[in-house]
Amino acid sequence: MTAQLPDGLPGELPAAWQAKLAGYSWAAQNIGRSNASVFCLTASGQPRLFAKTELVCGALGELPDEAQRLRWLAAQGQPCPQVLDLASTHDRHWLLMTALPGHDLASSPGLPAGRIVAIAATALRTLHGLDAATCPFDHRAAVRIEYARLRMQAGLVDAEDFDDERMNQTPAQVFAALQQQRPAHEDLVVTHGDACLPNLLAADGRFSGFVDCGRLGVADRHQDLALAAWSVRHNLGAGLGAGIFRCLCRRRRSRTPGVLPTARRILLMRNPAIGVAPRPIPPAPGLPSGTMPARDCRRPCATLPKSPG
């Protein structure tokens, strides 16, 4: 028995996967604009799986990094897909993972908007509460700005992916603004790195796990706040973006006055070189339980630097 592969599967499966995935049907997951292709694998009597594949592009590949981060995150007791295998062919990386229960928070019509915001805030607060000193992945501004420069010089920044605030600017102009606006202080925590609602899952009204963790690392807390607020506004309504700030900052505000994020810092963290400049796409209602969509907002290899660790 062989795996029932979709038409147009990019590249040949790793040899070790041929027998391992015999009997599984592959369905492409088309939400998002990730450079990685994402597939949901199903077979009668077998657990649902997810596979991701991307072209090998040297230090700019993301799937080996994602596998490392998922393993570290699981070791911290945080819910996330289990890495079953990471393999490479001559031109592609392949990542095989378990599915998580539930639906992503952008595709959970049964949950009230306020509950979605509360679930997202609780998940991010827990993640940010991990001991950053034990996290081996450095995503601080100096590291990410240097990788942004390398990507810009390599011609890998796609100006068509810029958000409305930076539309019609060149990558060089956006990078120059980033350098000028870099904050003197970073509020360092363990961040998800792509904290949009499609990357946070819930089952039975409770948080069930993080997905798409290829940019997890130590970085400024406001990076996650900026992306989460944008995603809440986009997926749930313009008036709800501030709600996640209130949920995330409520406890810290009482102890440390002035920690609420400023508009300038939030704007900086959405810079496509250091954070994300998302372009809206519709949410994808009706995805199957355990769906792990591709990135919500952009093609990552073209816009966002990442650390080598």
How confident is the model over 222-267, as pLDDT tens digits? 889 888 988 898 888 866 666 676 666 654 543 433 344 444 454 4
The reported pLDDT for the residue numbered 249 is 61
The reported pLDDT for the residue numbered 276 is 40
The reported pLDDT for the residue numbered 268 is 47
* Nearest-angstrom CA–CA distance, 162 and 168: 8
* pLDDT category of residue 162 using cuts at 50, 70 and 90: confident
Query: How does the average pLDDT of the chain come out, rounded?
Result: 78
* Nearest-angstrom CA–CA distance, 190 and 39: 28
| Residue % of the chain over a pLDDT of 70 | 71
The reported pLDDT for the residue numbered 60 is 62
Q: Specify the DSSP class assigned to residue 196.
A: -
What are the pLDDT digits (tens) for 173-184?
Answer: 988 988 888 878
Q: Where are the beta strands (DSSP E) in the chain?
A: 25-29, 37-42, 49-55, 83-88, 92-98, 103-104, 188-191, 200-203, 206-210, 217-220
**Phi, psi for 56 (deg, rounded to 5):** -70, 125
Is residue 141 within 8 Å of residue 186, measured between CB atoms? yes
The highest-confidence range among 8-22, 92-106, 258-272, 295-309, by mean pLDDT, is 92-106
More confident position, 288 or 207:
207
**Catalytic member of 65, 104, 161, 194:** 194
* Nearest-angstrom CA–CA distance, 199 and 43: 24
Is 194 known to be catalytic?
yes
* pLDDT category of residue 62 using cuts at 50, 70 and 90: confident
Per-residue pLDDT at 133 exceeds 60: yes
Pick the CATH number of 103-303 from 3.40.50.280, 3.20.20.70, 2.60.120.260, 3.90.1200.10: 3.90.1200.10
Superfamily of domain 15-98: Phosphorylase Kinase; domain 1 (3.30.200.20)
For residue 211, the SS3 value is coil
Per-residue pLDDT at 14 exceeds 60: yes
* pLDDT category of residue 29 using cuts at 50, 70 and 90: confident
* pLDDT category of residue 135 using cuts at 50, 70 and 90: very high
Neighbour-count burial for 65-103, b at 16+ CB within 10 Å, e otherwise: bbbbbbebbbeeebbbbebeebbeeeebbbbbbbbbebb
Neighbour-count burial of 140, counting CB atoms closer than 10 A to its CB (0-12 exposed, 13-18 middle, 19+ buried): middle
* Nearest-angstrom CA–CA distance, 74 and 301: 25
Q: What is the reported pTM?
A: 0.79
What residue spans of 51-140 are helical by DSSP H? 63-75, 113-128
* pLDDT category of residue 72 using cuts at 50, 70 and 90: very high
Q: Do 15-98 and 103-303 have matching folds?
A: no
* Domain edges within the chain: 15-98, 103-303
The reported pLDDT for the residue numbered 35 is 67
Q: What is the mean pLDDT of residues 32-48?
A: 85
For residue 118, the SS3 value is helix
